[in-house]
Structure 1
Amino acid sequence: MGAMPSSVIADLRSDTVTTPTPEMREAMARAEVGDDVYGEDPTVNELQAEVARLTGFEAGLFMPSGSMTNQVAIALHTRRGEEVICAEGSHIYEWELGMMAAFSGVVPRFVTAPLGVPDPEDVRLAVRHSVHQSPTGLISLENTHNKAGGTIIPLEVIEQIRAVADAEGLPLHLDGARVFNAAAALDVPLSEITRHFHTVSVCLSKGLGAPVGSVLVGTAGQMKQAHRYRKMLGGGMRQAGVLAAAALVALRDGPARLQADHRRARVLAEALAGAGYRVNLAAVQTNIIYVTLPDAAAHVARWAEHGVLASALGPDSVRFVLHHQVGDDALAGAMDVLLQDRAVAGALK
């Protein structure tokens, strides 16, 4: 990665780049702690209980990352040699380093998902029960869908896929890395989305702004087994209350800021599209924007020299992610850099 500029106007690489707020740092400093591997950290226990309550589940388990919560969920639901049905481009496959195969011994079976939304009938047709094929062990959805552009799965589609899961006797897991963004965009309580699933991974370090952590929710029995898998993966964090304290602040304060992130993403997306950038505006539903641009890495490197950071996620794909530490002034400064880039204008001709 190239050198960072001396002054960053806007860091749009991800919503994971936010730094702890003063309120989070204060909460971290005064957090009551214990050994969480023994289940004795009161602040972690409070966080787990609050996420479980918000999502409508019996229990939760705090882990360092969403990749870990997803992979623990896969291990809970499957046996070696089975398949996991998931939408094309799903994070559990694209960015979790083959861990479903390495840890659980299972493989993905993809279904097409325009704008990140799989057709329930395609999900049904992907189920395998034959002795001649790898059986299906789990159906997994991602909401919002990162690689599709931060897109939302409509509630009626989730309901229909849950009906498929029930009819086929299969568990349904949600990778809810940005499920709070989905709830904000739909203007529904979080539980209105999560109640359809058997387990849910909730990330606190993306749009909500916590420095570290995700919570897996499910039944108390599932979380007892998940605790073992977390330990196997090296996820026992001991006096983790200092992290859970910041996560509690994010959980309580962060959701109210998400609609502003979505508004700014729409402003930026429309400005980029108006300047000739290739943006699928139908996919800009929350806080993520993907732009198709030749030689993406070169453009990203040049913008960084002018204080605007973005992510090149392929030879011709750039991602911008809005978050609560990019306000209106920072957004305006970033737009000045992006819209006045003559090299981009040449590439778009």
Structure 2
Amino acid sequence: MKPIDFRSDTVTRPTAGMRRAMLDAEVGDDVYGEDPTVNRLEEQVAGRLGLEAAMFVPSGTQSNQIAMGLHCRPGDEVITEAGSHILQYEGGAVSALWGIQPQPLPSEDGLLSPEQVTAAVRPEGIHSPRSRLLSLENTHNRAGGTVWPLERFQAVVEAGRRAGLAIHLDGARLFNAEVATGTPASAWAKLTDTTSVCFSKGLGAPVGSALVGSAALIKEARRLRKRLGGGMRQAGILAAAALYALEHQVERLAEDHAHTRRLASGLAELPGVKVNLARVETNILLVEFARPSGEMVSRLAAQGLLVNATGPHTVRLVCHLDVSSADIDEALSRFRRTLKS
């Protein structure tokens, strides 16, 4: 039985074209700024996001954490949504690496309001941490791939600016938001001080992210990347995969979104399954089962369906370039068998 892996869009494997691009990559020492493929990638990403400069890094977590270190000092505070990646999936790095205090704000869909941000900002005084940074996420992973409506994003950013906050966007899946809405990724990114984008999720590269911002911020970011051990040498082999992904695999994200909607519609018809179809916007699907999620993960694995639990009765499924239309049909058949047993 062929496994169908819905655990994440990080499980993708490089395509043949991407492997050829990696094999043929022109390389140099990136720490010296001499890798032409890395330089080309950074220029292309910065231009695409409408910001001055970019820096290639090994992972989205490192990219986000460099941004934390750029904008905050020990004892400062970052305001963010309670389910955000920087809080839930980065090993406590905001506190462990930088001594930053997070202030998590609750939401139902991963999206904050201007009023929440304004109310969260600390008054000046010796008893409180200094509110320094507002960190947002688009699309929002834990909320099920939610896309920030541009007008709402702008309103929240403006509330942060009025309060003197720097703005960081965790845009690991920002190109999913672009493809889902037709709004250029730059429309969100240019409103921020720094934006992180990931190449190793839906875009299908084996590794790599980029931090994008002003030339001055990215210059300082290189110091922090070095401090965190992210200074790579002949990194053009990896950057070539990211370049290929950016040039060939953004538009195809629409296939992942279509597969996710078809999977959601099929699951919604099954007994003992709850799917909020209105919340299916991109390639992430949250499904609630009558049985405990841990039990469902095991039962589905026995049918060759790999998923992750995200709550007591909720599992997450993520479509990606290694999940075909035929795989969706087969997956629905396996779900039916699992729920009947």
Give the TM-score normalised by the residue count of structure 1: 0.94
2:114 paired with 1:117: no
Contact kept? 2:28, 2:36, Cα under 8 Å: yes
RMSD: 1.3
- State the alpha-carbon separation in 1 of the partners of residues 29 and 299 from structure 2: 46
SS in 2 for 1:223: helix
Q: Deviations over 1:33-90 (max 9, x none)?
A: 1111111111011111110000001110001110000000010001110110101200
Residue equivalent to 1:219: 214
Measured in 2, the distance between the counterparts of 1:339 and 1:61 equals: 46
Inter-partner Cα distance in structure 2 for 1:146 and 1:329: 25
Matching residue within 326, 341, 346 for 2:323? 326
**Residues 150-209 of structure 1, C-alpha deviation per residue, up to 9 Å, x if partnerless?**
001111111111211221121110000111111111111111121111100001111111
Aligned to 2:307: 310
Counterpart residue number, 2:120: 126
Tell whether the 8 Å contact from 2:139 to 2:145 is kept in structure 1 after alignment: yes
Choose from 83, 88, 91 the match for 1:97: 91
Matches for 1:70-81 after TM superposition, within 5 Å: 70-81=64-75
Letter in 2 for 1:267: R
What secondary structure, in the 3-state scheme, does the structure 1 residue paired with 2:97 have?
helix
Matched residue, 2:280: 284
* TM-aligned CA deviation for residue 316 of structure 1: 2.4
Is it true that 1:144 corresponds to 2:139 in the alignment?
yes
Aligned to 1:108: 102
For the residues of structure 2 that align with 1:153 and 1:322, how far apart are their CA atoms? 20
Counterpart mapping for 1:136-285 below 5 A? 136-276=131-271, 277-285=273-281
Once residues 183 and 159 of structure 2 are traced to their aligned partners in structure 1, the CA distance between those partners, rounded to angstroms, is 23
CA deviations over 1:238-290 (Å, ceiling 9, x no partner): 11100000110101111111111111101111111111312222221110011
Tell me if structure 2 keeps the 8 A contact 1:183–1:193.
no
Partners of 1:113 and 1:119 within 8 A in 2: no
CA distance in 2, matches of 1:58, 1:178: 20
1:275-332 per-residue CA deviation (whole Å, 9 max, x = no partner) reads 1312222221110011123322222223223222111234422110001111111111
Query: Residues 72-115 of structure 1: CA distance to partner in whole angstroms, max 9, x if unpaired?
Result: 00100011101101012000000011100011110111222221
Deviation at 1:339, TM superposition (A): 2.1
Contact 1:300/1:309 (8 A) holds in 2: yes
Name the SS of the counterpart of 2:73 in structure 1.
coil
Shift of 1:343: 5.5
**Corresponding residue number in structure 2 for 1:347:** none
- Whether 1:68 and 2:62 are equivalent positions in the alignment is yes
Gaps (5+ residues) in structure 1?
Answer: 1-5, 345-349
2:80 paired residue number = 86
Tell whether the 8 Å contact from 1:143 to 1:174 is kept in structure 2 after alignment. yes
How many Å separate the matches in 2 of 1:327 and 1:266?
Answer: 13
Native 8 Å contact 2:303 2:338 kept in 1: no
- Percent identity of paired positions between Structure 1 and Structure 2: 49
Kindly indicate whether residue 43 of structure 2 is the aligned counterpart of residue 40 of structure 1: no
Query: Matched residue pairs, number?
Result: 338
Q: Which amino acid is 1:28 matched to?
A: M
Pick from 2, 9, 13: which aligns with 1:19? 13
**Structure 1 contact 16–205 (Cα < 8 Å) conserved:** yes
Structure 1 stretches (4+) deviating beyond 4 angstroms? Answer: none
C-alpha contact (below 8 Å) 1:269/1:281 kept by paired residues: yes
- On the 8 A contact 2:132/2:164 being kept in 1, the answer is no
Cα separation, 2, equivalents of 1:223 and 1:110: 27
SS in structure 2 of the partner of residue 340 of structure 1: helix
**Structure 2 spans left out of the alignment, 5+ residues:** none
